[in-house]
Amino acid sequence: MDTPYAITINGKRVPTSTTRAAINPATEKAICLFPLATREHLDQAVVAAQESFSIWRDRPLEERQALVAKLGDLISENRESFIRLLITEQGKGRAGAEWEIGGSIHWLHEIAKQSLPSEVIVDKGEEQIVTRYTPIGVIGGITPWNFPLLLAVWKIAPALVAGNTMVLKPSPYTPLCTLWFGELAQTVLPPGVLNVISGGDELGQWMTEHPGIGKISFTGSTVTGRKVMSSASVNLKRLTLELGGNDPAIVLPDVDPKKIAKDLFWASFANSSQFCVACKRLYIHEDVYDAVAHELVEYAKTVTVGDGLTDGVELGPIQNRMQYDKVLNLLQDCRDRGQRFLIGGEASASPGYFIPVSLVDNPPEDSRVVVEEAFGPVLPLLKYRDIDDVIRRANNSPYGLAASVWGKDVRSAEAIASRLEAGTVWINQIHTFSPDIAFGGHKQSGIGIENSLHGLAEYCNTQTLMRKPLAV
């Protein structure tokens, strides 16, 4: 943080005349200034990516894979510094920051091992039909503030392995780790392969409209995702959209409330619930509702909320003032409607965007706290009796990102899981991800897949080559 941050274009640090302060959400104090790119900077970055594309595309796959793996080594060599910087700019606790930085290293190393073999449809000697994968060109990556480095890596690694070049824009709320990584990457990658430029919302719109970008990979809200899809239509850009969710969890009557409370808590409140796949609606069978609710409250009392740089802190603040105000508004709506909090419900007056873990006791199904994605530590506990009814309620949402089912009878849980409308459904677990596991949303939770060979293919065009000899 002692060195001024800069955007990276064509392998070089580029200063900007306009800057903005990055804010530590635990203290509400400025960390440092970061650069705001202009439209001209974007044009320069796209040109650099275009000019490097043919060279990078034609580089042997094994060499691209090796260089992407070296990006993981760069983070590993600076692991502690990345962890502390991530805590400072994002606000998460130490364990959460370690998980994200460790995951970034792991993803770069593992995605670097992936490849998409050509599919031979017909092979009759000189007559052959082959379907193969070719890179798209310049990828525009737009990342959010909840997992700023890991979700950037989810885009960088497959894009580069597939032979594309990239222009990457981090969230203006959490630009620092990504800007630093972009600079470090230039010691490994050829100039122009990865360009990192920071800026406000207008920069994202310029990217989605830019004719030199062939694909946008965006992670963020559904509202913004619709705008990305609309503006990207100007040149029919390829799209991967990983958007919002209102993920249900269904707890069956055969669970042990005391044993399951910890798992259900972290399913809901990891990263202070700033997690697209956090459990946001917890449906509990009426036979165990009171017991599960009690155990959740008791476990919540043991969790420390505070500045992530302080030892023992497990949950940090909301990352930014805008989201903090949204969550406060949701809490106020609960109070205005007379809904009962089992714990929490009132924000602290001390500095920092802190909101306590808040459990709402069986609010109406049509209340805002049930219908909306809070993206903060506010969880409605919802009582149910009938399995068909709870499945209907769980599916009654425009979102379909993820869901989970919890119960001792795994076959019954699996039968319920198979009826849920979500891209990922966990049974007796949650937040299990891997470079080899496909991840994507149904309905308005997104378009396309990240991770696995399905995700790698998202950064490619499909091309069929048909060959036969000329008739003599």
Q: Are 42 and 167 a contacting pair, CB within 8 Å?
A: yes
Please say whether the dihedral angle defined by the alpha carbons of residues 354, 357, 359 and 364, taken in this order, is positive or negative. positive
Q: Are 335 and 345 a contacting pair, CB within 8 Å?
A: yes
Nearest to 155 by CA among 197, 198, 66, 218: 218
pLDDT for 131 equals 97
Confidence of residue 472 (pLDDT cuts 50, 70, 90): confident
Distance CA(380)–CA(367), nearest Å, equals: 10
Q: Are 161 and 187 a contacting pair, CB within 8 Å?
A: no
pLDDT for 314 equals 97
28 is catalytic: no
Count CB neighbours of 127 within 10 A: 11
pLDDT for 246 equals 98
Confidence of residue 430 (pLDDT cuts 50, 70, 90): very high
pLDDT for 471 equals 83
- The arithmetic mean of pLDDT across residues 279-290, rounded, is 98
Q: Is the pLDDT of residue 103 over 90?
A: yes
pLDDT for 348 equals 81
User: Is residue 34 classed as helix, strand or coil in its secondary structure?
Assistant: strand
- The arithmetic mean of pLDDT across residues 151-169, rounded, is 98
Residue whose tokens read 């260089």: 67
Q: What percent of the chain has pLDDT over 90?
A: 97
Q: Please identify which of the residues 276, 279, 334, 460 carries the catalytic annotation.
A: 276
Burial of 79 (0-12, 13-18, 19+ CB in 10 A): middle
- Helix 289-300, helix 257-269: angle, nearest 10: 60
Q: Are 135 and 57 a contacting pair, CB within 8 Å?
A: yes
- The residues that bridge with 349 in the sheet, in sequence order, are none
Residue 457 has what DSSP assignment? H
User: Is residue 49 classed as helix, strand or coil in its secondary structure?
Assistant: helix
Q: Please identify which of the residues 89, 242, 295, 373 carries the catalytic annotation.
A: 242
Q: Is the pLDDT of residue 2 over 70?
A: no
For strands 19-24 and 29-35, give the pairing.
Answer: antiparallel
242 is catalytic: yes
Burial of 101 (0-12, 13-18, 19+ CB in 10 A): buried
Q: What angle do CA 178, 91, 76 make, to 5 degrees?
A: 45
Q: Is the pLDDT of residue 162 over 80?
A: yes
pLDDT for 174 equals 98
Confidence of residue 350 (pLDDT cuts 50, 70, 90): confident
Q: Is the pLDDT of residue 1 over 60?
A: no
Return all residues near 231 (Cβ < 8 A) that are at least 6 apart. Answer: 205, 208, 209
Query: How long a stretch of residues is the chain?
Result: 472
Amino acid at position 347, single letter: A
Count CB neighbours of 396 within 10 A: 14
- Helix 176-185, helix 61-77: angle, nearest 10: 130
- The arithmetic mean of pLDDT across residues 407-416, rounded, is 98
Count CB neighbours of 259 within 10 A: 9
Q: What percent of the chain has pLDDT over 70?
A: 100
Q: Are 166 and 120 a contacting pair, CB within 8 Å?
A: no
User: pLDDT, tens digit, for every residue of 51-69?
Assistant: 999 999 999 999 999 999 9
